[in-house]
Amino acid sequence: MRTCGRTGRVTRRELVKTLTLGMGSLLPLSAAGTLGQAVWPHPAGAAAAGTPSAPPRRGGELTIGLYRTLDQLDPAVYWGPPETMVTQMVFDSLVYLGNDLNIYPGLATSWEASKDGTSITFKLRQGVKFHDGTDFNAAAVKFHFDRCADPATKSQYARSLLGPYDSTVVQDDSTVQLRLKEPFAPIFDSLSQGYLGIPSPTAVKKYGQDFQNHLVGTGPFTFVEWARDTHITLARNANYRWGTAFPGRTNAGPPYLERLTFKFVPEQGTRDALMNGRKELLVEAWPGPRSLPGWRRDPAFTTYEGVSPGTTWFNFINVQKPPTNELAVRQAINYAVSKDTIVKVFYPGIARPTWNLIGPTSFGYDPALDHVYTFDPGKAKQLLDAAGWKVGPNGGRVKDGVPLHIDVFTSGFQTENYKELMLTMLQDVGFSTKLIAGTPADRTVAGSKGLYHVINREFEASDPHYLVDLFASKNVGTFAWSMNKDPQLDQMLTEQDVTVDRKARYALVSSATRRILEQGYVVPIYITLFVWVTATAVRNFHMDARSWYPYFQDAWIQA
């Protein structure tokens, strides 16, 4: 964890490595609906603790032990999941994503999309004030979106979220129209994210590039201070009267908690100590590996376990590099790897094997794709035989004198420590293998250049637009690490992006996923849980539908 927290930009998913020794309950994953649904598992032991009907009590502070420091916080500029935990408390967005994966009003009370899907007109909530006292209005929305789209802002993510952004037009103080160059199905999901939460234009103009040290939004919490190496503090916005409740968030009024302090504690042991040392109080943190089973049992703590939407943990298979340029070889890899064994050995109680690319809590998850492949080494050998890869004298397969060799990348996190086991499984069917280790940064560079045959990735996001980033041929050289240029897949991916009708889009996403799996562009491995632990005195600890991050305005502390 030490290296994980510091040596580079690490998504929270990599943190899951901390949980791999967890042994407790089975995964509380229920079968999701056809369109995919954010699962809301019951926290273990929550029923036993306190009376659920108790009225919320105001007051108190919450300390959150975070696994790394935060890099940047300007919503127009930054990218990073844990940073979003802060921005979505300071900034309100136009709309929200409920746990049922539907869109609910936020700063926009209603909206209407044009027939061709290229413009959306939002009616804005009135009487909303930024933390600096200035008024929220249509001009503020335009200011933020224009700023995100401006190349000079050097946006790392917000600009991508806006897709084919054209312009924003202020129609009157409380009416604003978002114009797109073409329809963009993910737009509402984008607008519900912390990156597109609306900052105060007055404050942005005043502080310029230093705005990230003086965040001003309309959200339930105000920005107090950010000490880059130690903590960030937010305080209750007592004037917060414009909140909305939706599935997953119950409190529309001001928060109950007076203060939130995010402490940056890269060392797990220290995070655990932080928790244990203040047992009677209000601390909550990510658990360390040894302590998770204990926390699951201990009535003084409550664990919240869930799966955030996005891809499963998978590996790209490079289609440009021989021998994985052959379909049979890629399929053989998929048949040869036993995900059950991997999970049993490395991630018991914390992950479940998968053959699908899209996780069960995502829009676009199709249960029918859970079994495109099975563990079947016989079938793998058969495919390789048929493709002309014959077993040589030393057990390794050879075709035309060339050995069946693949290079597999690992960045050494515990989330990838199954790689050696995976390689022995591949050797069992006749592959010769080499494991190449590097940093997360090396992984990104190697992936974009297609240096190896198998390289892992995962992407946490609530809209399947990530399939475009990860598999469209135009992104070969950036994030499409299978290096595939597949016109048929490109067509599906382009089409799903412009299909606004959800049912139709779901069907397209499903066929695109099927194509990716059947063509062996990936080999998926497992799905993991994310776990939060709070002192049981912390009540109404509700998670968002996107990243399994808490909406802190619901939470309160039992006396």
Partner 1 sequence: MVKFIGRRVLTTLPALLGVYTLVFVVLHVLPSDPALLISQGSASRSQLESLRHEYGLDRPVWQQYADDLGALLQGRLGRSIRYNEPVSGLILEFLPATLELALVGLGLAVLLGIVLGTLAALRPHGWIDNLSTIAALSGVSIPSFWLGLMLIFVFSLSLGWLPVTTGTPWQQLIMPAVTLGLYSMGVISRLARSSLVQTLHQEFIVTARAKGLPPRSVILRHALRNSLIPVVTIVGVELGNLLSGTVVVETVFARPGLGRLITDSITYRDYPVLQSTLLVAACGYVLANMVVDISYHYLDPRIREGRAS
Which residues sit at the interface with partner 1, rule CB under 8 A? Answer: 2, 6-9, 11, 71-72, 74, 77-80, 151-152, 154, 156-157, 159-160, 209, 212, 228-229, 265-267, 269-270, 273, 439-441, 444-445, 448-449, 459, 461, 465-466, 469, 474-475, 477-479
Q: Which is nearer to partner 1, 265 or 538 (CB)?
A: 265
Q: Which is nearer to partner 1, 160 or 244 (CB)?
A: 160
Q: Which is nearer to partner 1, 25 or 475 (CB)?
A: 475
- What are the Cα distances from residue 172, in Å, to 99, 126, 137? 32, 12, 9
Q: Which is nearer to partner 1, 157 or 346 (CB)?
A: 157
C-alpha 29/C-alpha 49 separation (Å) is 22
Q: Which is nearer to partner 1, 9 or 503 (CB)?
A: 9
Least distance between partner 1 and beta carbon 519 (Å) = 22
In this structure, are strands 530-535 and 283-285 parallel, antiparallel, or unpaired? antiparallel
Closest CA to 166 of 154, 178, 175: 178
C-alpha 197/C-alpha 107 separation (Å) is 9
Q: For residue 348, is the peptide bond before it cis, meaning its omega torsion is within 30 degrees of 0?
A: no
C-alpha 80/C-alpha 85 separation (Å) is 9
C-alpha 483/C-alpha 380 separation (Å) is 23
Phi-psi region of 229 (alpha: psi -120 to 50; beta: other; left: phi over 0): alpha
Strand order in the sheet with 402-403: 390-391, 397-399, 402-403
Quick check: 192 and 185 in contact, CB under 8 A? no
Q: Which is nearer to partner 1, 159 or 352 (CB)?
A: 159
Least distance between partner 1 and beta carbon 543 (Å) = 21
Q: How many CB atoms lie within 10 A of CB 538?
A: 23
488 three-state secondary structure: helix
Least distance between partner 1 and beta carbon 158 (Å) = 9
Q: Which is nearer to partner 1, 324 or 444 (CB)?
A: 444
Least distance between partner 1 and beta carbon 71 (Å) = 6
Least distance between partner 1 and beta carbon 154 (Å) = 5
Quick check: 287 and 18 in contact, CB under 8 A? yes
Least distance between partner 1 and beta carbon 229 (Å) = 4
Least distance between partner 1 and beta carbon 139 (Å) = 25
End-to-end CA separation in angstroms for the chain = 34
C-alpha 530/C-alpha 309 separation (Å) is 11
**One-letter identity of residue 429:** V
Strand order in the sheet with 119-124: 108-113, 119-124, 175-180, 165-172
Least distance between partner 1 and beta carbon 140 (Å) = 22
Torsion angles phi and psi, residue 80, rounded to 5: 160, 125
Least distance between partner 1 and beta carbon 259 (Å) = 20
Tokens encoding 532: 């939060």
Least distance between partner 1 and beta carbon 232 (Å) = 14
Q: Which is nearer to partner 1, 137 or 311 (CB)?
A: 311
Query: CB burial class (10 A; 0-12, 13-18, 19+) of residue 396?
Result: middle
Q: Which is nearer to partner 1, 347 or 466 (CB)?
A: 466
Q: Which is nearer to partner 1, 305 or 460 (CB)?
A: 460
Q: Which is nearer to partner 1, 409 or 466 (CB)?
A: 466
Strand (E) or helix (H) holding 447: helix 440-449
Least distance between partner 1 and beta carbon 440 (Å) = 8
